[in-house]
């Protein structure tokens, strides 16, 4: 079934309906069942592990729904996707998984669509751009869970010492400011982490700032577009070749770039909300601005979403739907987002965050979410394309790199992967 789109007026009417109203075909009061959820850990230490969030949430849910138990196992991002993959292959799919990608499971018919699970008000509450990103062949299977957007971070102290009075708005500003920072002894004027950790993210950010992207409006890969080639040729010639990235992009991972910023060694870089806490913990006075583009602000920023999905194998559709309605309540979405420095994935929690001054530093990121562009995670070819990007993009902008050749090579890989899945 197509996902149901509701206008704001319709959403208001729907909100007046009982939240126990279920999606298409769901019925019954549930049974004495135990739901299994495999989830990713958003904490950076044991004391703030996501396990604490889920333990508190499930206790509250079970108190209201005595016939349903929820067993949650939390794994690191290094392990969680593989854990779910292994369980599915072994015929032991969990009822729910909160991981990084959903399309492969949707393509194999292993997931419930959201309209089979959620009450109408809850389904309609997802931020539209995120709901769209959760669709496979025009049907939503991926429910957004945690989201973020990217902005350019800059070190105010280093800027002041270099005589820079305003943050960059264009590529020319970036090049000029980076040169000033270098002249004043800044180790890494502009960090460009194209090491294997998260190359696909930094690549997309630069594509968007240059007017390009991974795909066109109908989902066809455009990796070797003229805009993308021009972007990486500029990056190679005007930043890397002039020593303004400090470290060769292929040798710099995102985690190291973020740590360098927190240590006061990086003047500028593209970052997401969690960098704020990391920088504040080290006493860094920073600012953020929208991504600079060729002649002004970039056309869009990158959005990233992680996904909740429900497997059919256990047959617990009704109970799973009840639990998900609880998970996606305004209160729970806002608490999770606030606890882990992420952006709410629902309209109701977004409004609450924007109205609360304690989240002021997240507001700039949040206001970008509606127009953000996401990875083409609805394409089953994307995992291979992402892996290829991680292996090749860093070297493309290195001293001996060939941006055009590398982008063309990746485009050919993407096209072959797309054709193989059709």
Q: Which domains does the chain have, with CATH numbers?
A: 8-148+304-371 (3.40.190.10), 151-301+381-420 (3.40.190.10)
Give residue 420's pLDDT. 82
Q: Is the pLDDT of residue 11 over 50?
A: no
The predicted model gives 291-317 an average pLDDT of 95
d(CA 353, CA 347): 10
CB atoms within 10 A of CB 25: 11
pTM above 0.85, yes or no: no
Give residue 78's pLDDT band: very low, low, confident or very high (50, 70, 90).
Answer: confident
Give residue 422's pLDDT band: very low, low, confident or very high (50, 70, 90).
Answer: low
Q: Is the pLDDT of residue 8 over 50?
A: no
- CB hemisphere CA count around 86 (13 angstroms): 6
The average confidence (pLDDT) of the chain is 91
d(CA 398, CA 29): 60
Percent of the residues in the chain that have a pLDDT greater than 70, as a whole number: 92
pLDDT greater at residue 234 or residue 4: 234
Per residue in 92-116, pLDDT tens?
999 999 998 899 999 999 999 999 9
CB atoms within 10 A of CB 346: 23
Per residue in 274-301, pLDDT tens?
899 899 999 999 999 999 999 999 989 9
């Amino acid at each position: 079934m197509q996902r149901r789109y509701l206008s704001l007026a319709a959403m208001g009417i729907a909100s007046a309906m009982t939240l126990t109203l279920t999606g298409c075909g769901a019925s019954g009061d549930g049974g004495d069942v135990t739901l299994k959820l495999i989830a990713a850990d958003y904490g950076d230490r044991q004391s703030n592990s996501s396990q604490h969030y889920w333990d508190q949430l499930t206790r509250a849910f079970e108190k209201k729904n005595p016939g349903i138990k929820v067993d949650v196992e939390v794994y690191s991002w290094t392990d969680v996707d593989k854990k779910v993959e292994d369980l599915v292959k072994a015929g032991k799919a969990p009822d729910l998984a909160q991981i990084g990608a959903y399309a492969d499971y949707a393509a194999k018919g292993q997931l419930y669509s959201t309209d089979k699970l959620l009450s109408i008000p809850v389904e309609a509450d997802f931020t539209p751009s995120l709901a769209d990103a959760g669709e496979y062949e025009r049907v939503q299977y991926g429910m957004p869970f945690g989201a973020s957007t990217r902005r350019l971070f800059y070190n105010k102290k280093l800027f002041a010492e270099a005589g820079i009075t305003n943050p960059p708005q264009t590529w020319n500003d970036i090049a000029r400011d980076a040169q000033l920072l270098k002249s004043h002894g800044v180790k890494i004027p502009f960090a460009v982490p194209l090491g294997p950790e998260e190359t696909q993210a930094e690549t997309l950010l630069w594509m968007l700032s240059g007017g390009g992207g991974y795909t066109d409006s109908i989902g066809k890969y455009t990796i070797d577009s003229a805009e993308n080639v021009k972007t990486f040729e500029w990056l190679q010639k005007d930043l890397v070749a002039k020593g303004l990235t400090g470290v060769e992009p292929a040798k710099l991972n995102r985690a190291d770039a973020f740590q360098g910023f927190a240590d006061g060694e990086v003047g500028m870089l593209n970052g997401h909300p969690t960098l704020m806490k990391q920088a504040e913990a080290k006493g860094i006075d920073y600012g953020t601005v929208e991504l600079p583009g060729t002649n002004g602000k970039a056309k869009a920023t990158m959005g990233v979403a992680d996904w909740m999905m429900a497997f059919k194998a256990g047959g617990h559709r009704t109970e799973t739907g009840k639990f998900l309605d609880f998970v996606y309540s305004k209160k729970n979405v806002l608490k999770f987002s606030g606890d882990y420095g992420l952006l709410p994935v629902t309209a109701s929690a977004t409004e609450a965050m924007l109205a609360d001054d304690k989240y002021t530093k997240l507001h700039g990121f949040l206001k970008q979410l509606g127009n953000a562009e996401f990875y083409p995670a609805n394409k089953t070819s994307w995992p291979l394309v992402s892996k290829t990007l991680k292996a090749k993009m860093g070297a493309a902008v290195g001293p001996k790199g060939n941006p055009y050749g590398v982008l063309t090579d990746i485009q050919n890989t993407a096209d072959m992967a797309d054709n193989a899945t059709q």
